[in-house]
Copies of this chain bind each other. A is one copy, B any other.
């Protein structure tokens, strides 16, 4: 709480997706059957060390076309924190994906609902429920 903090995100890469608009994208990542590519910028590629086909990962991305002022979903009749809508104060998407293939500085995955060009923020190994 004390003083200034660096709350600025550093995109580590971007998503190459068959979904070009928010309308085309599936409502949630787990509904996505089409593969997407996660391209990681050169400066961050060392962080991918060890990622292999078959692994489950959590991918965090920045839904940069979202509206950030919305706090309530009229359609759903509940607060935005009880929805997974992209429109929220910090439009960070989280999808659990399956790795199909690992390339040079990129990872091909299934299970991502993010649209083409979406900045990627983080990748973590998924926790099995």
A contacts, CB < 8 Å to B: 1, 5, 7-12, 14, 28, 30, 44, 46-51, 55, 57-58, 60, 62, 64, 68, 71-72, 77-84, 88-90, 92, 94, 96, 117, 119, 121-125, 127-129
Interface residue from B51, B82, B90, B122 paired with A50 (Cβ < 8 Å): B82
Q: Closest CB-CB distance, A20 to chain B, in whole Å?
A: 14
A30 neighbours in B (Cβ, 8 Å): 127
| Distance of A72 from chain B, by nearest CB (Å) | 5
CB distance B122 to A83 under 8 Å?
Answer: no
Query: Closest residue of chain B to A9, judged by CB?
Result: B7
In the assembled complex, the Cα of A12 lies from the Cα of B10 at a distance in Å of 20
